[in-house]
């Protein structure tokens, strides 16, 4: 089974769907391993963020900004967007996290960033609760974006209620992406907000929200979206961060939210396959091609019976490994 067949399967599963080429584009063209928040009201931190080798920067209007600094943050972000996006060796994602759609100022946030001289690559919408929120976002951004201009959309799922609506939210995003001016690229697991919404208490292993954390990955992958994992708030605990990264990565998460620059290298490293994995996957694919030529389907590789699905896992790893050249 080829990748295009995988895409076709998906197509059958959740209609209406985008064409494979578009998926492929949005899913692989821009890795979002570390998604780093920068308080929108802090010019020094914003300036510094452009010097950090990170996949994805989110200039924040929301939770990282105090209630009485909201206007300041909005205007500061606007002024930064009026300048050229600072260049780097390789491209990166520059986004703006607006306030959630139940606070009226979200429209000002959106207007401010979509009317700057340079568009952000991505708009991040926190606390999406229902499909109607996506509709609202689509209408407002549609009015503001001129001509062929498009932005990526990152959707946050952060409450018990949002989890009940998660499939409908993604269906709406998919539907409106075809007619609107945005492209949904990722779902974010708002772990800490969810803990609060559930009245749950976080342990080291975060097993309390395993249901929600794995449901989000599954829904994201069904809609070919990236899945971005919860924040590790103990930002000095890099060991714990690493463990949590690996836990999420093994579930299928493609990246993780980051609240401190010191977390970035650990996260970006964790969401690359390990040398062992790459060596295993490369060897397996070679062995597979050899057996396929000889007309053998199932075969053994290093003591394990290998079939199509395992082979595809190996393909996944090799694809991720190709990002290492950007490191």
**Catalytic residue IDs:** 307
Give the residue among 269, 268, 301, 295 at the shortest CA–CA distance from 282.
Answer: 301
Give the residue among 219, 226, 269, 279 at the shortest CA–CA distance from 246.
Answer: 269
* From 59-67, 78-86, 110-118, 175-183, span contacting a copy of itself (CB under 8 A): 59-67
Among 82, 196, 286, 290, binds a copy of itself (CB under 8 A): 196
Measured between alpha carbons, how far is 321 from 274 in angstroms, rounded to an integer?
A: 8
Q: Site residues for a copy of itself, window 31-50 (CB under 8 A)?
A: 37, 39, 41
> Contact between 259 and a copy of itself (CB under 8 A)?
yes
> Contact between 275 and a copy of itself (CB under 8 A)?
no
Q: Site residues for a copy of itself, window 290-319 (CB under 8 A)?
A: 291-292, 294-298, 300, 303-310, 312-313, 315-316
User: Does the bond joining 16 to the residue before it have cis omega, within 30 degrees of 0?
Assistant: yes
Q: Give 126's DSSP letter.
A: -
Q: Site residues for a copy of itself, window 105-124 (CB under 8 A)?
A: none
> Contact between 277 and a copy of itself (CB under 8 A)?
yes
Measured between alpha carbons, how far is 324 from 327 in angstroms, rounded to an integer?
A: 5
Give the residue among 232, 222, 237, 240 at the shortest CA–CA distance from 256.
Answer: 232
Helix (H), strand (E) at residue 186: strand 182-189
CB of 218 to a copy of itself, least distance (A): 5
CB of 5 to a copy of itself, least distance (A): 6
Q: Is 260 exposed, middle or buried (0-12, 13-18, 19+ CB in 10 A)?
A: middle
> Contact between 130 and a copy of itself (CB under 8 A)?
yes
Contacts of 242 (CB under 8 A, 6+ apart): 266, 270
CB of 84 to a copy of itself, least distance (A): 28
Among 35, 58, 249, 266, binds a copy of itself (CB under 8 A): 249
> Contact between 240 and a copy of itself (CB under 8 A)?
no
Give the residue among 102, 95, 86 at the shortest CA–CA distance from 61.
Answer: 95
Among 67, 84, 146, 179, binds a copy of itself (CB under 8 A): 67
Among 198, 285, 318, 323, binds a copy of itself (CB under 8 A): 198
Among 162, 177, 241, 284, binds a copy of itself (CB under 8 A): 162
Query: Is the distance from CB of 133 to CB of 176 less than 8 angstroms?
Result: no
> Contact between 71 and a copy of itself (CB under 8 A)?
no
> Contact between 197 and a copy of itself (CB under 8 A)?
yes
> Contact between 243 and a copy of itself (CB under 8 A)?
no
CB of 186 to a copy of itself, least distance (A): 13
Nearer to a copy of itself, 119 or 311 (CB): 311
CB of 238 to a copy of itself, least distance (A): 13
Pairing mode of beta strands 122-125, 304-306: unpaired
Measured between alpha carbons, how far is 70 from 63 in angstroms, rounded to an integer?
A: 10
Contacts of 264 (CB under 8 A, 6+ apart): 34, 36, 52, 53, 54, 258
CB of 89 to a copy of itself, least distance (A): 26
């Amino acid at each position: 089974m080829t990748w295009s067949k995988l895409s076709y399967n998906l197509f059958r599963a959740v209609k209406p769907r985008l064409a494979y080429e578009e998926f492929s584009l949005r899913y692989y063209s821009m890795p979002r391993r570390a998604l780093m928040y920068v308080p929108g009201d802090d010019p020094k931190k914003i300036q510094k963020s452009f010097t950090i080798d990170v996949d994805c920067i989110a200039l924040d209007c929301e939770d990282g900004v105090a209630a009485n600094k909201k206007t300041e943050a909005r205007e500061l972000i606007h002024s930064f967007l009026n300048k050229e996006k600072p260049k780097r060796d390789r491209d990166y994602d520059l986004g703006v996290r607006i306030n959630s759609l139940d606070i009226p100022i979200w429209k000002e946030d959106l207007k401010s960033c979509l009317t700057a001289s340079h568009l952000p690559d991505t708009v991040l919408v926190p606390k999406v609760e229902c499909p109607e929120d996506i509709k609202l976002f689509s209408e407002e951004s549609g009015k503001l974006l001129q001509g062929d201009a498009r932005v990526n959309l990152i959707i946050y799922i952060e409450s018990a209620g949002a989890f009940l609506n998660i499939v409908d939210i993604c269906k709406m995003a998919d539907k409106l992406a075809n007619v609107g001016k945005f492209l949904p690229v990722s779902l974010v697991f708002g772990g800490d907000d969810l803990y609060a919404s559930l009245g749950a208490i976080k342990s080291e292993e975060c097993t309390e929200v395993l249901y929600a954390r794995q449901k989000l990955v599954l829904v994201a992958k069904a809609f070919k979206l990236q899945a971005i994992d919860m924040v590790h708030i103990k930002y000095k605990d890099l060991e714990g961060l690493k463990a949590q990264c690996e836990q999420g990565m093994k579930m299928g998460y493609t990246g993780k939210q980051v609240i401190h620059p010191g977390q970035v290298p650990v996260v970006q490293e964790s969401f690359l396959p390990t040398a062992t994995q790459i060596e295993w996957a490369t060897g397996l694919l070679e062995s597979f091609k050899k057996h396929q030529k000889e007309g053998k389907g199932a075969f053994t590789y290093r003591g394990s019976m290998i079939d199509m699905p395992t082979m595809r896992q190996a393909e996944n790893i090799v694809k991720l490994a190709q990002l290492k050249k950007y490191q």
